[in-house]
With several copies, the nearest count.
Chain A
Amino acid sequence: MNRINQKLQEDKKLLSIYFTAGYPELEDTVEIIEKLESSGVDMIEIGLPFSDPLADGPTIQDSSTQALKNGMSTEKLFEQLKSIRESVSIPLIIMGYFNPILQYGVEAFCIKCQETGIDGLIIPDLPVDVYHDTYKTIFDSYGLINVFLITPQTSKDRIHFIDSVSEGFIYMVSSASTTGAKSGFGDEQTQYFDRIAEMNLKNPQIVGFGISNNHTFQQATRHSKGAIIGSAFIKHLSNYGKGGISEFVESVIRSETT
């Protein structure tokens, strides 16, 4: 069984953290992953940086630009992750735009993921339809789970379709926005979370976008299986470096008030 599915069966709200590979320093990737696991994070999204990350806001854009400047590349990332399964056991997901994967070769990329011990992929600009028609069989044959996004604008029908294609979890984008655009949730989000919860989807949902601390983590996971923090963690890295990772994670997991 894929590590992602296993993790989803645990009886707890999951915290997943996104960071951009090669940021702040080229060789930080493995250390950050290890520190995240040891701080109690449940799942990690390793960002493969892209020159034109059009679904991302300035924070993640800037980290991608810096990572590329530092020398990060697809080849380099796989090299860094070569022995990652010797030290890390939580699910690892690569999040990257489709073009670098296409240039690497989709199948070659999947093979590498399998070899490395990557459990799944999030490719924001690979639509579910194209995946379903063209790439699903490849992903399947290397045991990779591909994760799809839904947003408050996604129609009911489409959510059901995505649910049917998905085999891990659904990435529930909290509001129609780029990453880091908004922080915190209002009525709109709460209603949206409720609405999805009531759909009784086959896949659990993990909420992303807008989660930055314990308060928003609690809000997001009231009706969902877990939550993903991206921009807030990148900001933390750029402000405090790798040093404070465990403090950051703890502050999210444990409520400060009470």
Chain B
Amino acid sequence: MSYNVNEKGYYGDFGGAYIPEMLYPNIEELRNNYLKITSEASFKEEFAHLLKDYVGRPSPLYFADRLSKKYNTKIYLKREDLNHTGAHKVNNTIGQILLAKRLGKNRIIAETGAGQHGVATATVCALMGIECVVYMGEVDIARQAPNVARMKMLGAKVVPALSGSRTLKDATNEAMRDWINNPVDTHYIVGSVVGPHPFPDMVARFQAVVSDEIKWQLQEKEGTEKPDYLIACVGGGSNAAGTYYHYLDDESVKIIAVEAAGKGIDTGESAATSVLGKEGIIHGSKTLMMQTKDGQITEPYSISAGLDYPGVGPMHANLYRTGRAEFISITDDEAMTAGLELSQLEGIIPAIETSHALAVFDHKKFNPNDIIVVNLSGRGDKDLQNYIDYFKL
């Protein structure tokens, strides 16, 4: 059984491309070209070159000594926080900007929640000298001010999404509308493994560099390519997809996906899609999503802007349904505590998104010999004000 995408763009029951006809040519163009272009030698070379010299890959696989001691197990942190721009997101935007160039596009749009994807997109657009428009929910603009400032410095236009919950889902709607209105010259750099096929697969492939590196890095450090557990937080699911990618079909490697419980699963203020969601269509993809009985998409809640999304990528919906991955929900409070703990035990301030993944250690007991790899998906610079306010530091 494979947990990867099939030829029609589905992961089990999930995926596909449920898009208005106005988007069909764009999606079709991508679908016809993404595998061809990304397998060309010149593409691979340029991608590898930029990941190395510009992004700073490989990101270290760091053995967290004091954290491991505290939880009496072996914890490795995959340091995506050290990437240029401070999160895993840039792996994907580098890939997509190279694709967009080869498709002859001269304008880029993107949606962003935490702002990390917006920054990563604005960054590659500056690098290539291409116009960039980023849609961001008005609420997120307020709670992730440093990233808004960065996008502006990079020359991108940040457009507030004023509809709905004014967070990530609405920014995504606005980006899709922009794409509908600018079908020829514009490429939409989707920021996670969501959206219509081929986006989930394409983004997962660009992020797969993460598990590709984990394999040889773990071999170097532990004499085996295989960890016992892989842990990642899941907003749309791109850092998780990258972490799992090369291990998906090897069931001896256990997978833990961490979602944001917000104020608690039962409080009505949550973003734990797998538990609270049902099958449906969101942003062009059939997947699990939070919705009313009536099929209206629910406004999610999480302290973390990057996890505050009512859907989840189709790969993850399938991992949940098939039981391949264990899904754990972490509340705001648990995440914040875990973020502070990592800061003070290891000198690494994680993004609040990432803090959710780290909170697993207070939830689940591991064996002393277990080898655990956590994707440290991003740094916490963008979240400092939230941490400070929360802990009254």
Contacts and interface: CB of A to CB of B under 8 A. Distances in A.
Whether the complex brings A and B within 8 Å at their CB atoms is answered: yes
B281 A51 contact: no
B68 interface: no
Contacts of A108: none
A161 B18 CA distance: 18
Contacts of B281: 97-99, 102, 125
A173 B19 contact: no
A55 B181 CA distance: 10
Interface in B8-45: 16-22, 24-25
Interface in B159-176: 163-164, 169-170, 173, 176
Interface residues of B, number: 33
A154 B24 contact: yes
Interface string B165-193: 00001100100110011011000000000
B180 A176 contact: yes
A57 to B, nearest CB: 7
Nearest to B163: A61
Interface stretch (B244-252, B288-296, B352-360): B288-296
A37 B166 CA distance: 38
Interface string A21-55: 00000000000000000000000000000111111
A57 B21 CA distance: 15
A99 B22 contact: no
Contacts of A154: 21, 24-25
B60 interface: no
A53 B173 CA distance: 8
Given A103-B280, A176-B183, 14 more contacts: A52-B170, A54-B177, A56-B177, A58-B163, A65-B163, A99-B281, A99-B282, A101-B295, A103-B294, A104-B294, A149-B21, A173-B22, A177-B180, A178-B180
Interface of A: 50-58, 61, 65, 68, 73-75, 97-104, 124-128, 130, 148-151, 153-155, 158, 173, 176-178, 181
6 contacts: A100-B296, A103-B295, A125-B18, A127-B21, A148-B21, A176-B184
What are the 8 tightest A-B residue pairs by CB atom distance, in nearest-first order?
A103-B295, A100-B295, A149-B21, A51-B296, A153-B25, A55-B20, A124-B20, A99-B281
